[in-house]
Amino acid sequence: MRLGFTYDLRSDYLAEGYGMEETAEFDSAATIDAIAAALASCGHDVDRIGNVRSLTRRLVAGDRWELVFNIAEGMYGLVREAQVPALLDAYDIPYTFSDPLVVALTQHKGMTKRVLRDCGLPTAPFAVVGELSDIAKVDLPFPLFAKPIAEGSGKGINPASRVRNRRELDGICRTLLARFRQPVLIETYLPGREFTVGIVGTGGEASTVGVLEVILNDKAEPGVYSYLNKEEYDTRVIYTLAFDGEAKAAGEIGLAAWRALGCRDGGRVDLRSDAQGRPHVLEINPLAGLSPTKSDLPIAALQAGWTYEQLIGRIVESARARVGALAAAGAASAAE
């Protein structure tokens, strides 16, 4: 199969003058090479396209692909992860991972939590601070946790994200509003274990790869899976598959959330437990990182006994299966 490959290369944006934290969600050349090699090992002809601007130029020039393997995160806007899927939809080109509706929804953590809550899935009580006047309206018991509403890879998260009183809440909200120019999500702080559930597949065919527990060691910034902890994961974080009852519950909730929101092909659901050991959904990652050495989904797959090539292959096969099923349904409808 001729596969297009869309992605954001971190070094491209660093060369344009963007900073390390601004580009934290983008991929290294090593990751792009690893994915391309894995796709090629599955028998596919890989055409490296690059970011949304490169994709736009290629589409205008008339280039087309049987399927696009899309991991482009986008740089601008609250729904930047939806840009490439929306563009591919406009040209009727199938692609891996979730559609624009899902990636736009899940990028906005506040909207995601509203949908999860309506679906009856556990997520911590929360408030959204969109402007300074909203800070006084937050009516939740301390301690609380504050983070940008539409960022990933721990951006904007550090020990100050855990707030213990009104003064700290005011300070962190002012900092995040000014720094990221987007609303701030305020949640009840969950003091328990942290899990990430790796998932492959779509709908009823989706299944968990494994439930990975995230354990901060004594060198880590305490109490938070922060930007710095993620960047220096090899010296600050221990990842291990968990199989006990609490982890099993996290896996079941994660898979239910994945299906409820209509996520496709592969990704992660992040959860953290309350003081009673009950897992709550933190966020959903339908466009999860795929670095073979530092990203949670490949780490979970590796610990579960998968090769990296098997993980990438399963993602592509999930996309091919649903695209084929959709085409078959369309043909059947046309024949009636």
Q: Determine the pLDDT at residue 333.
A: 47
Q: In what order do the strands lie in the sheet with 237-241?
A: 237-241, 207-216, 194-200, 266-273, 279-285
Q: Determine the pLDDT at residue 223.
A: 81
Q: Determine the pLDDT at residue 188.
A: 97
Q: Which of 110, 99, 88, 28 is nearest to 265 (CA)?
A: 99
Residue type, 327: A
pLDDT tens-place values along the chain, 336 residues long:
999 999 999 999 999 999 888 888 899 999 999 999 999 999 999 999 999 999 999 999 999 999 999 999 998 888 999 999 999 999 999 999 999 999 999 999 999 999 999 999 999 999 999 999 999 999 999 999 999 998 886 888 989 999 999 999 999 999 999 999 999 999 999 999 999 999 999 999 999 999 999 999 988 888 888 888 888 888 999 999 999 999 999 999 999 999 999 999 999 999 999 999 999 999 999 999 999 999 999 999 999 999 999 999 999 999 999 998 665 555 444 455
Structure tokens at 302: 């590796």
Interatomic CA distance for residues 21 and 183, integer angstroms? 18
Beta bridge partners of 48: 5
CA 11 to chain centre: 21
Pairing mode, strands 237-241 and 207-216: antiparallel
Interatomic CA distance for residues 301 and 211, integer angstroms? 10
Q: Determine the pLDDT at residue 336.
A: 54
Residue 293 burial (C-beta neighbours within 10 Å; 0-12, 13-18, 19+): middle
Give the other-Cβ count within 10 Å of 217's Cβ.
Answer: 10
CA 213 to chain centre: 16
pTM: 0.92
Residue owning tokens 């006047």 = 133
